[in-house]
């Protein structure tokens, strides 16, 4: 751990949920690295110490949290068995089923080349959305081929919080998609595109930008696609639905829409199924007084 100094954190300044942790309570020391992956020296500054204690707290609770989740799942299965309720396949059965399924020859790529543009909090949001995509895909009767590209050190560190991710039905690629796939087979899904996609073709790979940007980098994915000379397209939201809010879709929203349409679900049904209730999506009405197309900020989020 190293010696403590007078530059340790003042307890009055530490956030409430880490107050009970001090240098003397640490059982696991995960270390702390800067955005470039360099180990930060000790003693820490007060801000560094806050971040470090949060990370230590999470590491120390991880094993206990996982054990409690397993215990709760076991209890649910026990009660369901007693009440003759079918909870569906467990994770082990799902994995076996997934391995026996033949994935559709349609690929979907999440481009993680934007790590340097996001703070840690937003990178974690991207990882959380990827987990949702993985869960949706593995439960599909005809899953998509799932790829992660530009899987760099920051993303690996963020993903390492989820033990065993290397064994998931996702192909993690360190290199950019242009180094992995034929250029003519790629299509970048971006709301800035003037092209509207109507179907997803076999032997093609559809790219979703792994960027949570809060509109800070609007149009970036489209710009990249144009500069790289690859095809690009937007989802046909305006054609099939109206929305009461801005048409900002997360990574997992876009992923599931592609999956459902690729499974054969009609566009309108897929959009209404996937989009959350707070979006207020409803069947398109040409007479509606809500003219979505007239607002430049009603776009699909490139993340």
Q: Which residues are catalytic?
A: 213
**CB-based burial of residue 95 (10 Å sphere; 0-12 exposed, 13-18 middle, 19+ buried)?**
middle
Q: Which two tokens stand for residue 175?
A: 């290199």
Q: For strands 204-209 and 106-111, give the pairing.
A: parallel
Any idea how long the chain is? 303
Residues 185, 204 contacting (CB under 8 angstroms): yes
Strand partners, 232: 188
Q: Which of 166, 146, 147 is nearest to 156 (CA)?
A: 166
Q: Which residues contact 288 (CB under 8 A, 6 or more apart)?
A: 242
d(CA 189, CA 210): 11
Residues 238, 292 contacting (CB under 8 angstroms): yes
Task: List Cα–Cα distances, 36 to 30, 50, 116, in angstroms.
Answer: 16, 19, 9
d(CA 288, CA 215): 27
Residues 149, 110 contacting (CB under 8 angstroms): yes
d(CA 289, CA 279): 17
Q: Which residues contact 90 (CB under 8 A, 6 or more apart)?
A: 73, 77
DSSP type of residue 53: H
What are phi and psi for residue 73, nearest 5 degrees?
A: -65, -40
């Amino acid at each position: 751990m190293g010696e403590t100094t007078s530059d340790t954190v003042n307890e009055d300044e530490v956030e409430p949920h880490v107050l009970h942790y001090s240098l003397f309570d640490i059982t696991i020391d995960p270390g702390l690295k800067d955005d470039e992956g360099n180990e930060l020296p000790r003693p820490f500054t007060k801000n560094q110490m806050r971040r470090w204690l949060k990370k230590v707290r999470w590491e120390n609770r991880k094993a206990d949290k996982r054990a409690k989740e397993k215990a709760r799942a076991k209890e649910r299965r026990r009660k369901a068995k007693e009440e003759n309720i079918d909870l569906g396949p467990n994770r082990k059965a799902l994995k076996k089923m997934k391995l026996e399924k033949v994935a559709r020859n349609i690929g979907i790529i999440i481009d993680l080349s934007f790590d340097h543009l996001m703070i840690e909090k937003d990178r974690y949001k991207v990882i959380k959305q990827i987990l949702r995509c993985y869960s949706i895909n593995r439960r599909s009767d005809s899953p998509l081929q799932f790829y992660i590209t530009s899987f760099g050190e920051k993303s690996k560190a963020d993903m390492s919080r989820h033990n065993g991710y290397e064994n998931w039905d996702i192909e993690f690629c360190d290199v950019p998609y242009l180094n992995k796939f034929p250029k003519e087979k790629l299509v970048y899904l971006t709301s800035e595109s003037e092209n509207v996609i109507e179907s997803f073709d076999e032997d093609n790979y559809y790219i979703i930008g792994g960027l949570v940007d809060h509109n800070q980098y609007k149009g970036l994915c489209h710009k990249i696609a144009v500069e790289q000379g690859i095809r690009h397209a937007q989802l046909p939201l305006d054609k099939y639905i109206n929305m009461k809010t801005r048409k900002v879709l997360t990574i997992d929203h876009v992923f599931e829409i592609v999956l459902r349409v690729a499974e054969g679900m009609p566009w309108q049904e897929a959009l209404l199924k996937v989009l959350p209730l707070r979006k207020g999506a409803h069947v398109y009405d040409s007479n509606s007084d809500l003219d979505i197309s007239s607002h430049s900020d009603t776009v699909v989020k490139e993340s």
